[in-house]
A and B are shown apart, each in its own frame.
Chain A
């Protein structure tokens, strides 16, 4: 059974701090790992990491994938109150040449205090 574990489950930091969110996984036929940010509504896409793209960066956010050790981290530098959200990690597997849906971790609830 595919499994995704995120840590920590919750984190409270002050504005301006740097945070690192962790995601480890056990997936048969790994295809990609995705990070999402969820505020009050639907998850919004941050990054997708695959065998051919193991490091991504967008502004203050960056992510790496370690396919050997089966984990990924999401870094946020110079945090702002608008970064407060639940951050979801998900992995996509391949079955029979097609996608098999996403398996999500439980998420990290990040709170940025002013």
Chain B
């Protein structure tokens, strides 16, 4: 039982490049979400999904897109990377009974 799997673990991008952070869960959770963690800021919600085909914006959605074509997968797309998007990104899924399970994170640096 893998839980929540995020790839890649590390990534360096040049300003203006695009990329997709992958997130997959095998717990059959309906609810999935993406957060970014910056020093001194805690975790902030980027986008979330309450089920396949349904997504919504969180606190800091600008510059990011998501889609949810299956229950298992919830990729996060950076359209045109900016240095301000340098951060650690966490994906989470939830059953609302046992709390949220987080992936191991992706450390992204935009130069």
Chain A positions within 8 Å of B, measured between CB atoms, are 4, 31-32, 34, 36, 41-45, 48, 88, 90, 92, 98-107
Contacts and interface: CB of A to CB of B under 8 A. Distances in A.
B48 A101 contact: yes
When A and B form their complex, which 10 residue pairs have the shortest distance between CB atoms, in order from nearest? A42-B102, A104-B42, A101-B45, A106-B42, A104-B43, A45-B99, A48-B99, A98-B50, A101-B48, A42-B104
Interface of B: 31, 33, 35, 40-45, 48, 50, 58-59, 90, 92, 94, 96, 98-105
B89 to A, nearest CB: 11
Given A42-B104, A45-B101, A106-B40, A99 B45 contact: no
A96 to B, nearest CB: 9
Given A98-B50, A99-B94, A102-B33, A43 B102 contact: yes
12 contacts: A34-B100, A41-B105, A42-B103, A43-B43, A99-B96, A100-B48, A102-B35, A102-B43, A103-B45, A104-B44, A105-B42, A106-B42
